[in-house]
């Protein structure tokens, strides 16, 4: 397993739609990055999936549990970032928990479709790069066709990437 891979913590909005979460996880499986996760993110994702009718409670919890098992050694423990939550910048206090986890795991990339709520300069000083999924995956899959093609067929099969 390559040790210098980018470490990515997806925000909840990157885990819904499911196809984007699938891309995040498949890129980890193909050694394009390492996905980081927290119980806070997974619990919020379960809530969003159920609220939006994407999954039943049982199905949503089963997926979250599978992420916990499959990527067990990539969990950011709440005890590692809890003390940072109150210090996090940004106007949406609900996002502070995710920013704190990314800071605790720094250097890391906080992957979010809501970049405006994560002040890039202030988080950058804590070792966190804030990236939008479009920009991140565009850059990740561009540099090396050999690297990206390891993930692309599987992603195309799930409807995540279209050629």
| Positive/negative CA dihedral, 68, 99, 113, 23 | negative
Domain hosting residue 69, numbered range:
7-87+95-157
Residue 104 lies in a domain: yes
Residue 1 lies in a domain: no
Residue 2 lies in a domain: no
Residue 163 lies in a domain: no
Integer Cα distance of 40 and 69 in angstroms: 16
Confidence (pLDDT) at 134: 96
Residue 135 lies in a domain: yes
The pTM score is 0.86
Integer Cα distance of 151 and 14 in angstroms: 18
Higher pLDDT, 54 or 143: 54
Number of folded domains in the chain? Answer: 1
Integer Cα distance of 120 and 129 in angstroms: 7
Q: Are 126 and 120 in contact (CB under 8 A)?
A: no
Residue 49 lies in a domain: yes
Domain at 40, CATH number: 3.40.50.11490
Q: Residue for token digits 């720094």?
A: 106
Higher pLDDT, 31 or 143: 31
Residue 29 lies in a domain: yes
Summarised one tens digit per residue, pLDDT across range 71-104 is 999 999 999 999 999 999 999 999 999 999 999 9
Written as six digits, the tokens of 31 are: 């050694």
Alpha-helical runs (H) found in 2-157: 18-29, 39-51, 57-70, 78-81, 96-104, 120-124, 133-141, 145-157
**Using DSSP, how many helices (H) and how many strands (E) does the chain show?**
8, 4
């Amino acid at each position: 397993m390559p040790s210098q891979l980018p470490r990515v913590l997806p925000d909840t909005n990157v885990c819904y739609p499911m196809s984007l979460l699938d891309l995040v996880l498949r890129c980890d499986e193909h050694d394009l990055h390492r996905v980081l996760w927290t119980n806070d993110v997974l619990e919020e994702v379960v809530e969003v999936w159920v609220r939006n009718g994407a999954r039943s409670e049982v199905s949503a919890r089963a997926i979250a549990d599978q992420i916990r098992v499959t990527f067990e050694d990539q969990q950011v423990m709440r005890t590692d970032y809890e003390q940072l939550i109150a210090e996090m910048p940004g106007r949406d206090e609900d996002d502070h928990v995710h920013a704190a986890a990314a800071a605790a795991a720094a250097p890391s990339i906080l992957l979010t479709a809501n970049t405006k709520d994560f002040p890039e300069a202030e988080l950058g000083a804590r070792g966190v790069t804030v990236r939008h999924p479009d920009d991140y995956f565009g850059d990740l899959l561009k540099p090396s066709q050999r690297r990206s093609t390891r993930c692309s067929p599987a992603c195309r099969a799930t409807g995540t990437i279209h050629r």
